Each structure stands twice: as structure tokens, then as C-alpha cells.
Chain A
Amino acid sequence: MVDNVNIQESPPEVQFAGVNRWLRENLFSSTGSAILTFVSIGALIGLFRSIIGFFISPEREWTAITYNLRLYMVQAYPESDFIRVWITIGLVMGLLGLTWGFNSVNEKSSLKSTGTTLMKVFSSLFLLVLIAPTSVVIDKVEGTVVDVFQQELRIYLLAVLAGLILVSYLIRTKLASQEVSKDYLNIGYVGLLVVSIWLIKVPTVTFDSSNVRIEPDPLLPLAASTKNPWTALYLLLVVTFFIGRYLNSKNLTSFKRILPVSWLLTPLIVVTWIYRKPDFTLSQITTVDLPVILGFSAIGYFVINYLNSEKLMQYQRYFVYGSLIIAVFVFSLPVLRQLKLLFFLLWILISVAPTIANSKESARSLFIVWSVAITILILLMRGGTSETLIVVPGSSIYGGFALTWVLAFFGIAISFPFGVMLALGRTSSLPIIRIICTAIIELVRSVPFITWLFFGSVMLTFFLPAGVEFDEVVRAVVVTSIFSAAYLAENVRGGLQSISKGQFEAADAVGLSTLQRISLIVMPQALRAVIPPIVSQVISLFKDTSLVAIVGLFDLLYIGSKVIPNQSQGANFLGTIQENILFCAIFYWIFTYSFARRSMKIEKRLGLGER
């Protein structure tokens, strides 16, 4: 029998005790590991020296990139229409700021972690400068050596970096207990980027009055022609952030519902504003569009407030079927395309209204969302279907990074809902739907992406009604999204299978309908389980957009690998393929890596509830 033993609580053993111990435990734990450590450090230094040497060698023609940045970004998009691109980016920025501010949870972060991050960055730079080679071999046969990195410059850079390391160390130790809002910190980081495009100067190609290249290349700010708009956009972001936060403090629930709808509609605005320059006439809007908008707003109001009442509730299914039949009927009539779409939307509204608008307040916000959405949609369709006024030499309005971005963005945005529906269809208990979805998935997956691109480019027109013709970019977007949807469907199906039968039964037992069960219980869990494969799929889709060069579109990589290395007129960048390919690689890396980082954070946050 054990008597009352006095157990005292002891603090946990300290895990981390000094640099020495860490080194001993992690790098030099045995003779073998010590040898390995030294060998790999040596190899890393050698590798970095040669990479840095490659970058700073006088043979490199980096002006090929600085001079061609515009070509890289938008290819041949006419300069006179740039303002519309900026306005569109501004719109997205504003929305981003509002969302950010509205959803801000005012998280605090200690300056200690900021200091640590800064210290890591500056120390890595310090090391790189320290090991950078002073001279590089230009001609391997003759062994010509050229000095590229003067000792004074190195010492100067090292001194500056040492100063910065000291400053971040001081932040880390002296101000460690200070807390700052994470939002302000992020605004600060983006601000640093904006400042750097004013401060960092790079050599560019300039011509004198007789059209001769000025040598040596003069230094100009990184974003010489775009620094003003970027700064304005940054200010817009900051301002809308504070507006969003103000709105949040006012607790506006209807605004909460308007935000996602605005995001959903943004791509359409991008399409009509950058892709097309619509031929608007005021009379069309006042005589056709305005009455349609008002009429459908009124119908929506009626549906939400009266059709939803207790007395008519039992006939709900008849309303749903009836409105679907009307929508299909209207679709076959030779009326405005806007009307065709609106009747389908009305059908969706009638189907979901009883589920969403379950209180007076939510009925009101649903009505607001409905009216705003149809207004924007009608105006956009008016813009999208009218003749474009942009004149571009060549086949496509889009090119360069703009094309890459459009393909990736729309590819993901369209394939996501489509893929989820395919996955649900494939697991459905209705045999016809299951067979159709399985057939689509298997057919799309079993043919190479490039084949589908050719198919879209060459054969799609045969399958469309006469007179309907899509632009090459639209065809590429359609093909990309269908291809990606098939793979996404399989990923999502994997997630669906990970949901236990008990979850379905529990959802049934509390009386949820099938739609509610899928959207509230099954999908949130299934999607959460498959975030990693979905993220890697998004990343590979982003990179796969470079394949569209095969159907004659000028994407980022094609410009870097074929267009610029063949520029023989003016600045003459013949054969600058290494620089351009490297630039493209870094460009892709920045985007995919930051996306991967972001998703890791999301995964962590969503993982909270599990286990």
C-alpha cells in the first residue's frame, strides 16, 4: 500500500540549451555525420558560388528582361487601353482590401518573431555576399578570367548587411515584448515592396536621338513606367482595408453576404473590361436592360417573401419544377440571351430560397444579393456580347503573363465547381448521372492535355452551332478547365470516400435534406481532407498553361524561350535564352511557392477542428 506520497510538479526539462549543444546533436553527433556535414557544406558553397557567378558574369545580358518586361506581362495589348487594366486591378485590389479589413481578427504578433525573420533573411544575404566569387571564367578554353565583384563593393555590402542584422537583433531582443498587429505588419511588408520598386535601379536599354543604343546602359527604377500606378494601387489597398475594418465594426451582416458575390462577379468584370472593350449605348441600357433588371428584382422579391411562406411551402416542389420547365422553354425561344440566363437563375433562386431565407433578416440580405447580382450580370452580358473595340495585331488580345494568369485563374475557377459536381455525380445513386460523370472523367483523363488543346483549337468549332465561334483564348480556357475538372473530381471523390457512414446517418437523423447534408456536412469535411492534392493540382495547372504555346498562344514561357531570344532589331537580344529561361523559372517559382505557403497556412487553420 502506497501512502500519500508527496509528488511535486517539476518544470519540463529545457530542450534547447545553446548553440554548441544544438550543433553537437544535429550536425556532429558522430564521425560519419561530421564528415557528411563538412562535405555537404563544401558542396553547397561551391554550388552557390557558381550560381552567383553565373548571375553576375558580364556575359549575361539581363537588360533583355528589364527592357522586355512589358512584353512579358501583356505582350501586344495596346498601350492606349492600359488604363482599363489598371482600373480592373484596382477593383480587385479594392475588393481585396475590403475583404481583408472586414475579416480582420486583429491578431497580434510579437516583434520577436519579426526580428527573427529579418535576421534570417539578412544573415542569408550576408552569407551569399561573403561566398560570392570575385572573378569568373568567361572562356573555358582560353581560361580568360574577368573581375566582376570588387573587394570594396563586397566590404561595403557586408557592412550594410551587418548593420541590418544588428538592427534586427536589437528588434528581437530589446523590443521583443512589443506587440504589433499582424495586419499592420503585412501592410508594412507590401509597402516595402512598393518602396523597393522606386529605389532599386537596374540597367535598361535606352536609345539616343539617332536611335543608337546608349552604352553603358543607364540605371532606372525597376518598374520605371508602372511605379506610379502600383503606388496608387497600394494606397487604395490600405484605404479599403481600413474601410473594411470600419464596416466590420459596424456589424453589417448584409455586407458579409455581398462580399462573396462581388468576388464571384469579379472575373466577369475582368473579362469585359480587359478582354473586351464593349460598345455600350445608353439607349440600350435604359430601354432594355433597366426594365429587365427592375422586373426580375420585383419577381425575386416576390419569390423570397411570399413563395416562401408557410402556406405555400408544401407546393414548393411544383414551383421548382415549373420554373425549370419555363426556363428550358424560354431557352429555346429566340429572345435576349440575358433573359435566358435570368430564367435559369430564377429557377435556382426558387430552389434555394426556402433554405437560405429562413428569417426576416436573411430574406432581406438574399434580396439585396439577388438584385445586385442580376444588375451586374445584365450589364456585364451587355458588355460581353457586344463588339470589342480593342485592336491588336496578331491573333489574341492576351499574351505573356496576362495570358498565363487568365488561363490559370479561369481554369481553376471554372474547374472547381465543375469538378466537385462531377465527383458528386460519380458517387451519386442515380445510375444515369453516375454513368455520364464516370464517362466524362475517364474520357478526359485518358487523353493527353496537348491533344485536348489541339482538339479545342482545331475541332471544337465542328461541335458548336453555326455562327458561334470562340476566340483561341476562350477555347484554351474551356479545355484547361475541363481537363483540370476531371482530375479534381477524382481528388474530391477521394475526400468523399474518407467520410464515414456515420456522418451521413447523423445528418439524416437530425433531418437535414440531401442538399443540406452535402453542403453542410459532407463537402466541408471532404474538401478539407483533400487540400494537399488539390493544391498540387492547382500548382501543376498553373505550370501546364505554358503548353498553350503549342496552339499558337504567346504565354510567358513562349515569350521567354522564343520571342525575346530572336529579337534582332533595336536592342538586339539574339541568343539571350539562358537569362530569359531563368527569369521565367524564377517567376513561376515565386507564384507557385507563395501559393503553396498560403495553402499550408490555410490547412493549418482548417485543421484546428480535427483530432
Chain B
Amino acid sequence: MSIIQSIDVKKWYGDFQALKGITMDVAEGEVLVICGPSGSGKSTFIRCINRLEQHQDGQIIVDGIELTNDLKNIEAIRSEVGMVFQSFNLFPHLTVLQNITLAPIWVRKKSKSEAEEKAMELLERVGIPEQADKFPGQLSGGQQQRVAIARALAMEPKIMLFDEPTSALDPEMIKEVLDVMKELAQSGMTMIVVTHEMGFAKEVADRVMLFDEGQLVEQNTPEEFFNNPESDRTKLFLSQIL
């Protein structure tokens, strides 16, 4: 049973076509890694999945709901899909705890104490419970990204989207974020990860995809993808990145 279905999705920025008909689907519990050179449309595509970008043609169906301009559908899907950004995007005027409890309280209508209890659990899970009362500006990049993951998880999403979560981090901090993501993958979460961390892809992914120039070039299991790439484009990409 696929939880995300994408059928011939196309998107233009002005005259530039960013997505040239993406057809794919993601099964429940699957961990999918998308890689590709910059400008290949991989970020645009996962941002279409929770409607931060609008696709102009084709269909995206998330958890049985098709993404259209209907606000109700969009809000329903956004509370099912958590997203982690490259630049963290924590709310700087709120403490770590408030960052995490905000959406559960206002969108899920949870009581404050319930939301805080859950938030502390999540902070425990990402390994920084002692930072709960600090402001994002007082944390390191890796810690901020872990808070961002906890913030997304607080909505109890069915799907997690990661948009280059480690690209803005120091090498030392990448590991702490990847560890959290690995743990999350092992817990059975459906994940789509746009990343250049090939180590992560080899170890955790169920499937790896390569995007280039707005097209889905190749998809395969990590063993096949890295060891026996089919297309020349993939071979070139792998030779450059590894």
C-alpha cells in the first residue's frame, strides 16, 4: 500500500521547467533517499509533497488525499507530514520547548501539560532534554536540527520529509543528526530524505533515487544503485560524489 503517489508531476518557474513529469510512489514505512546534483529538482519535488510549492500538472496523493488548492486538504496533509529544513527554521522568539509544543497545542488542540510531556519525551529521544528552556540562538547547529526533528515529530506525522538536513552543518555535527535519523528509520517511520550523505543512504535507505534536470533518472535498492548503476548519468554522478 503506497502512502505517497506521484503521477506525472510537472512544475515550472516562469519558463524554466523544474519538474518534468515525476511518477513514483512510496510505501508505508519505506525510507527513500533522493540524491542528485543541485538544481535537479529534488528539493522542489519533496516541497511539493506538503504543498510548500505548488505543482502545475499531474497528481500527488498523500495518504489517500489528493493535493489541490483546497485549504482544508492542505492543512490536513501538513499535519500528517513533518518537514525538516536545511536551515532548521526554528522560531527564534520561542524556547526549544515552546517550538515543539506550539503546533500540538494550536493545531492538534492538545492541553499544554500533555504537549509538554510529549515534547520532553521527544527531546529525550533526540538526546537534548537539558536544552528545553533555551532559545534556538543559544544552541549549536546540530542541536538546532535535532530540535527541528523533534518539532516535526511532535505532530505525530505519518511521513517525514528531510530537505538536505545536514548540508548546513559542521562535519562533527552531521553524525549526531544522522544518528537521530537512523533511529527514526528503524522505528518504522516513512521517510523521504534529500541528502548527499551516501553513507546514510547505503546503511539506512530501502530505495535510492537519482534526480537530474527535473527527471527521475534511476531508482533502485542501495546495493544495486551503488554497485551496479544502470544509467551513465548515475555512473557519472557516483564517480563525482564518491
A residues in contact (CB < 8 Å) with B = 355, 358-359, 361, 500, 502-503, 505-513, 516, 520-521, 524-525, 528, 608-611
Contacts and interface: CB of A to CB of B under 8 A. Distances in A.
Interface in B125-177: 135-137, 151-152, 155
A524 B93 contact: yes
Contact of B93 (A355, A500, A510, A609): A609
A611 B85 contact: no
Contacts of B136: 609
Given A609-B94, A609-B135, A512 B89 contact: no
A541 B99 CA distance: 37
Interface string B99-115: 00011011101110000
B79 interface: yes
B85 A511 contact: no
Could you tell me the dominant secondary structure of chain B's interface residues? Answer: loop
Contacts of A503: 89, 91
B103 A512 contact: yes
Contact of A359 (B79, B91, B102, B111): B111
Contact of B78 (A358, A511, A516): A511
B122 interface: no
A506 B109 contact: no
A528 B52 contact: no
26 contacts: A358-B106, A358-B109, A358-B110, A505-B52, A506-B90, A506-B91, A508-B50, A508-B51, A508-B78, A509-B50, A509-B152, A510-B82, A510-B103, A511-B78, A511-B79, A511-B107, A512-B102, A512-B106, A513-B107, A520-B106, A525-B91, A525-B93, A528-B93, A609-B92, A609-B137, A610-B137
Interface in B30-75: 50-52, 75
Contact of A509 (B78, B87, B102, B135): B78
B85 A506 contact: yes
Contacts of B135: 608-610
B22 interface: no
B92 A610 contact: yes
A513 B52 CA distance: 13
A358 to B, nearest CB: 4
Contacts of B191: none
A248 to B, nearest CB: 18
Contact of B151 (A361, A510, A524): A510
Main secondary structure of the interface of A (DSSP, over half): helix
Contacts of A512: 102-103, 106-107
Interface of B: 50-52, 75, 78-79, 81-83, 85, 87, 89-95, 102-103, 105-107, 109-111, 135-137, 151-152, 155
The 6 closest A-B pairs by CB, nearest first: A506-B89, A511-B79, A510-B103, A358-B109, A502-B89, A509-B83
Given A502-B85, A516-B107, 17 more contacts: A359-B109, A359-B111, A509-B50, A509-B83, A510-B79, A510-B102, A510-B107, A510-B151, A511-B75, A511-B103, A512-B102, A512-B106, A525-B92, A525-B93, A608-B135, A609-B93, A610-B93
A509 B52 contact: yes
A506 B152 CA distance: 10
B114 to A, nearest CB: 9
A256 B220 CA distance: 58
Contacts of A500: 89
Contacts of A507: 91
A503 B111 CA distance: 24
B28 to A, nearest CB: 20
Nearest to B50: A509
Contacts of B81: 509
Specify which of A359, A511, A512, A525 lies most central, judged by the most chain B CB atoms within 10 Å of its CB: A511
Nearest to A525: B93
Given A355-B106, A502-B85, A513 B75 contact: yes
Given A609-B92, A609-B94, A508 B111 contact: no
Nearest to B148: A506
Max chain A Cβ within 10 angstroms of own Cβ: one of B79, B90, B106: B106
Nearest to B111: A359
A506 B155 CA distance: 13
A305 to B, nearest CB: 15
Given A358-B105, A511-B103, A520-B106, A611 B151 contact: no
Contacts of B79: 510-511
B178 to A, nearest CB: 21
A104 to B, nearest CB: 20
Nearest to B105: A358
A516 B103 CA distance: 10
B169 to A, nearest CB: 16
B105 to A, nearest CB: 7
Contacts of A608: 135
B92 to A, nearest CB: 6
Nearest to A509: B83
Contacts of B90: 506
Contact of B155 (A355, A511, A513, A520): A511
A359 B113 CA distance: 11
A358 B111 CA distance: 8
Contacts of B155: 510-511
Contacts of B85: 502, 505-506, 509
A397 B152 CA distance: 58
